Amino acid sequence: MALSGSLIERLAQHLSDHVGRPVDIEHERPVGGGSINDAYRLHTNEGTFFVKVNGHDAIPSFFEAEADGLERLRQANTLRVPQVIAFGEDHDDGYLLMEHIPPGPRGPDFWADFGRSLAQLHRVTQPHFGLVRPNYIGTLKQVNTPEDDWATFFQLHRLEPLVKMARDQRKLNDAIVLRFERLYGRLGDLFPREAPALLHGDLWKGNFLVGPEGEPVLIDPAVHHGHREMDIAMTKLFGGFDEAFYSAYNAAWPLERGWIERTDLCSLYPLLVHVNLFGGGYVAQLDTALQRYV
């Protein structure tokens, strides 16, 4: 689907403001891979840029929240993150305009560098778990109301809302819901106590790129301050990262004993996301993980 003329004009104006001189968008090229938004490379007289567009199903504040998350990761200055140029709406189209980062070959130290850099990112902290604003994971809204301890935040703002959503949609049976209710009282004992860590929040293998110098590049975040094992568990959910990643992370900032055994506990949230979005086989995977703890 081609971009509308009015959106092209709006993007050209954003780019002109960004570079400080007139920018002409010569043509756009669709980029595949996204399931929520359409994406395009914009070829201009000032180089190549990248834009994500969401049409008639656009969620108000969706790209505003993504832009906020990307900027928080950029400010941490530990991993490369695309620079946001602008976001907004044009008629029925929401858009997020960013720098274009060309791909490069993955170097021999890619995974180790990634692990060390993620450990540095996780050292960015704040007094409370959560965030000052809500955002999204996939198309599901994340409520990030700050809490003093992780177990309370995880229960109130991650598990309970999605268990209720899935139950109301008849995707979870009463037995699974009851197991979750039994789990809530154990969360404070299951998680080791740590300071809130700045998390990517949706760190599976589809949400990073390899940059032109072979560096890891973070995209599509669901940022908040949470327990750092959540990011680690997410990396393992759909195939896992290279072992060099985990070795380098643990060398830079060792995870607490038992972190591997807690992977399924942390995975309950992303599995609930997938149950609510896709249903099907994710219910069985969720129940298997849940039964390890209750």
Active site residues: 202
Nearest 5 degrees, angle CA 9-CA 13-CA 18? Answer: 150
Q: List phi, psi (to 5°) of 170.
A: 60, 35
Burial, 184: exposed, middle or buried (Cβ in 10 Å; 0-12, 13-18, 19+)? middle
Task: Answer for the pair 126, 235: CB distance below 8 angstroms, yes or no.
Answer: no
Task: Answer for the pair 264, 291: CB distance below 8 angstroms, yes or no.
Answer: no
**CB-based contacts of 76: which residues, under 8 Å, 6+ apart?**
120, 121, 124, 198
Q: Half-sphere exposure (CA, 13 Å, Cβ side) for 131?
A: 24
Question: Is residue 132 helix, strand or coil?
Answer: coil
Task: Answer for the pair 64, 87: CB distance below 8 angstroms, yes or no.
Answer: yes
Report how far residue 277's alpha carbon sits from residue 84's, in angstroms, rounded to the nearest whole number.
Answer: 27
Task: Answer for the pair 98, 83: CB distance below 8 angstroms, yes or no.
Answer: yes
CA distances from 61 to 68, 72, 134, 142 (A): 10, 16, 10, 12
Please report the sign of the dihedral spanned by the C-alpha atoms of residue 117, residue 236, residue 231, residue 68. positive
Helical axes 174-184 vs 282-290, angle rounded to 10°:
40
